[in-house]
Structure 1
Amino acid sequence: MPYEWLPPSTTGGAQAELHLWPYRSLPKKGFVTFFGVTFGMVSLPLLAVVGSPILWGLLPFVAVVLGGAWWALQRNYRDGSILEELRFWDDKLTLTRHNPRAPRQDWEANPHWVRVHDYGQEGRIEHYLTLKGGPREVEIGAFLSVDERRALLEEITAKLNEIRRPVPQDR
């Protein structure tokens, strides 16, 4: 799944920390393979015209195709570099969204008042998840699949219930 709960030793004092990111269907190794195969397939027809003036007429178009594919895939990687960090403390809950081409977005609320809302079929997307606690309602994991958002709803709700439980006092 494109999210993970970090172990408590790495959370910097928080009780729990969750990182979410978009799914990558083409990893960097796959990008290299795809680009190498594309380069080979586009260059193969040029072998027939090597040594003739036609090569120089076709070469700019081949360069535009390869350059465009390179630029489009790199842009896709940059746009997909979203990271959402949800941190749980006893007295606060923070959500930080690192956007690729926009400023960082921060949200904070008291975990005792935070509610996770699932819009089901009525939201912008199916099973659209939001956190509400304080003056703002913020989305979380909109880039996840429907099944991943359902699982995330259960996990966040369980973590909030765990934090809200009163700690037994020694008498």
Structure 2
Amino acid sequence: MPYRWTQSDAGAQLPPDTTELHLWPYRSLPRKGFVIFIAITLVMVSLPLLALLGTIEMWWVLAFIAMAVAGVWWALSHSYRTGEVLEVLSLSPRSLRLTRHDPGRKPARHWEANPHWVRVALDRSGGPVPDYLTLTGGPREVELGAFLTPEERRALYDELRRNLDLARAPIGMPR
């Protein structure tokens, strides 16, 4: 799953009684796969050059091959840059904070609410995406994990409700 829960413990850098959730878009092509894909593309597209070795036409074909490989490289690199989204949800008995880090130089967006008043909603009937997951409880409603699949949003909904219930438990009760 493209998300991970982290609990505070003796070695963690989180405040006591804090749970943190990190969400990121799924990458079906890792960086190593990207390099292998570009190498295979270059080899396959260069095969027509063998028939043109020693001719002036080889240089014309080589120019188009270079443009094609550069275009594929640019498109995949652009996809990686736009997918550098990170959502961090910090949950403690006193506060719930959601921070979204967007790609590029855009400033991070923050949302904060009291966990006792936060509602987690999963809109199964519609919304911008199937199984639209939202948090309500502060001055506005915020979306969580828009880049997740519907199955991942449903699983996250259950986990988020369970962790929110634990954070709401009265102080002194076992967590």
1:17 aligns with 2:20: yes
Q: TM-score, normalised by structure 2?
A: 0.92
Q: Which residue number in structure 2 is paired with residue 68 of structure 1?
A: 71
Q: Partners of 2:37 and 2:99 in 1: how far apart?
A: 34
Q: Which residue number in structure 2 is paired with residue 139 of structure 1?
A: 143
1:55 aligns with 2:58: yes
Moved over 6 A (4+): none
User: Which amino acid in 1 is paired with 2:107?
Assistant: P
Number of aligned residue pairs: give it.
169
User: Which amino acid in 2 is paired with 1:126?
Assistant: P
1:105 aligns with 2:109: yes
SS where residue 20 of structure 2 aligns? strand
Q: Partners of 1:88 and 1:45 in 2: how far apart?
A: 58
SS where residue 147 of structure 2 aligns? coil
Query: Deviation digits for residues 100-138 of structure 1, max 9, x if unmatched?
Result: 033211111100011111111221111100111111111
The alignment yields a C-alpha RMSD, in angstroms, of: 1.3
Q: TM-score, normalised by structure 1?
A: 0.94
Q: Partners of 2:138 and 2:96 in 1: how far apart?
A: 11
User: Which amino acid in 2 is paired with 1:92?
Assistant: S
Shift of 1:7: 3.3
Q: Which residue number in structure 2 is paired with residue 153 of structure 1?
A: 157
Query: Deviation digits for residues 65-111 of structure 1, max 9, x if unmatched?
Result: 01000111111111111000000122110000100033211111100
> Structure 1 11/158 Cα, relative in aligned 2: closer, same or farther at 3 Å?
farther
SS where residue 121 of structure 1 aligns? coil
> Where do 5+ consecutive residues of structure 1 fail to align?
none
> Which stretch has the larger CA shift, 141-150 or 160-169?
160-169
User: Which amino acid in 1 is paired with 2:74?
Assistant: W
